[in-house]
Amino acid sequence: MNKALLAKWIWRFGKDNKELWRRVICSNYGLNECSLFWPEQMSNNASYFVKSVGSLLKDGSHTARVIRNSFSAIIGCGDRVQFWNEVKIEGKPLREVFPRVFVLALKKLGTVKDFGVWADSKWVWHIPTRRPLFDWEQDQWRVFTTFLNCITI
């Protein structure tokens, strides 16, 4: 029951982005106010409550898998969802599913909104690369762009 109540705080952190308690936590611990998920790691001076909530998300635990697989985000306008870390395929972030594309990408940080533009009432993805792709990288790039084109914004 304790884990369920702590998990509710994770859910509220992602949902209640305008609430004072959330802004205080972000300010106190130097978090980006656009973050969707409660951070896993906190500084040593964090309160016991904050550390307890964060500990639920530590990789490898059964509770972390249940929480990560049960919670999902609606991208909306894309200003709160981290592109490489929070857009997931079968529970894994894009940076892990497409590691080669992530290495080639010019921008490693940013929200979904930072990786595309609206053109003629349609969302067009724009992921600049550091260099032109080699032939052997083209296949993974095609799979990556096919996946992105299935996302509705």
- The pLDDT profile of the chain, 153 residues, written as one tens digit per residue, is 777 888 888 778 777 777 888 888 878 877 766 665 666 666 677 777 777 777 777 766 777 777 766 666 566 777 778 889 888 877 788 999 999 999 999 999 888 889 988 888 888 899 999 999 999 899 999 999 988 887 766
Under DSSP, is residue 119 helix (H, G, I), strand (E, B) or coil? strand
Q: What is the CA radius of gyration of the chain?
A: 17
- Signed CA dihedral, 139, 141, 147, 150: sign only: negative
Provide the 8-state DSSP code for 31. -
Token pair, residue 67, equals 């929480």
For residue 86, the model assigns a pLDDT of 82
User: Residue 53 and residue 45: Cα distance in Å, rounded?
Assistant: 15
Domain spans, the chain: 2-70, 83-149
* Span 60-92, pLDDT tens digits: 677 777 776 666 656 677 777 888 988 887 778
User: Residue 11 and residue 61: Cα distance in Å, rounded?
Assistant: 18
User: Residue 121 and residue 96: Cα distance in Å, rounded?
Assistant: 31
For 133, other C-beta atoms within 10 Å of its C-beta total: 15
Tell if the pTM clears 0.85, that is, is over it.
no
Can you name the residues that pair with 88 across neighbouring β-strands?
Answer: 93
User: Residue 132 and residue 130: Cα distance in Å, rounded?
Assistant: 7
